[in-house]
Amino acid sequence: MRIAIYPGTFDPITNGHVDIIDRAREIFDRVIVAVAGSTNKRTLFSSAERIAMIREIVKKHKNVSVDRFDGLLVRYAQSKKAIAIVRGLRAVSDFEYEFQMALTNRKLDGDITTVFLMPHEKYTYLNSSIVRELATLGGDVTEFVPPNVRRRLTEKMKSVRG
């Protein structure tokens, strides 16, 4: 079975992320969306909230699951017997960092391949930071995130604003 890990913070998951999941599930027998639990990033949503949102989105796909991971990604991938790590590349600016990470991961375990997937061009500018900022400023995020995420963002912004 060809298992791939799609790791990320997913704070929140965007339509670009969903597009990468859809592409990966066509290539691999099983895709595990691995939500980073402990991270240096300050997240808007807890890891439990992020996992719940993603599970709601992917529940229709039998070959996609969602899990939390902490620590070294390569160790997590090894524990799941994954053969690949999936990463999305939106623009050239993503490439240098992702290239460095891929080479480091290859050095740690040469049997795990990093696979770069490009999202649909309509999502190439999109990232979670933009979505969070737009939501914080009261903007409409309908085109950028799945409906369940839009609802959660709206609720979260109401509670943040008081």
Active-site choice (41, 59, 61, 120) = 41
State yes or no: is 128 an active-site residue: yes
State yes or no: is 17 an active-site residue: yes
State yes or no: is 61 an active-site residue: no
Q: Nearest 5°: phi and psi at 151? A: -60, -45
Residue 50 and residue 82: Cα distance in Å, rounded? 22
Active-site choice (23, 30, 128, 152) = 128
Active-site choice (17, 50, 132, 152) = 17
| Extended beta strands in the chain, E state | 3-8, 30-36, 64-69, 84-88, 113-117
State yes or no: is 90 an active-site residue: yes
Q: Nearest 5°: phi and psi at 143? A: -75, -10
Place of tokens 């099983």: 30
Active-site choice (68, 90, 106, 156) = 90
| Active site members | 17, 41, 90, 128
